[in-house]
Amino acid sequence: MVASHAHDPAWLDAFAAAVDRYRAGNSLARTMRAWGGSQAEAARLFGVSRQAVGKWLRNGPPVERAIALADLAAATDLLLHYLKPDRIPAVVRRPVPALGGLSLTDLLTRGDTAALLDACRDMFAFERVST
């Protein structure tokens, strides 16, 4: 299919954009599954409607959400790497003393995905643990 359009840069650009949107939507769906959240909960956490989240899942999220969703996907990757999947929903909802009693979902609700990613990195910074 792509080979037949190799001479059409506009088609190739549109195809690449569609693939990027699909991957971004898949990343959000993967995060929602890992965090044990529904579409309605994701909407609450992002401060948007359930329909908006559905649109993001189908068509990819809006560009202005790209950095936040990349941070969230990276944090989810860490959680999936170091924790059993069935533990993640409880971990992301549990208040963390190092975060002033906030949970990872609280950080997401505040829109502070950079702090969320930093918190996940800190959780698994085993090199700082003394023996």
pLDDT per residue over 18-66, tens digit each?
Answer: 555 555 557 889 999 999 999 999 999 999 999 999 999 888 888 899 8
Is the pLDDT reported for residue 128 higher than 80?
Answer: no
Helix ranges (H only) for the chain are 9-35, 39-46, 50-59, 66-82, 88-93, 104-110, 113-123
| Structure token pair of residue 10 | 């506009």
| Structure token pair of residue 29 | 């769906």
CA neighbor of 116 nearest in space, from 94, 97, 99: 99
In this prediction the pTM is: 0.78
Given a contact cutoff of 8 angstroms between Cβ atoms, the answer to whether 68 and 42 are in contact is: no
User: Residues in the chain, how many?
Assistant: 131
What whole-number percentage of the chain has pLDDT above 90? 65
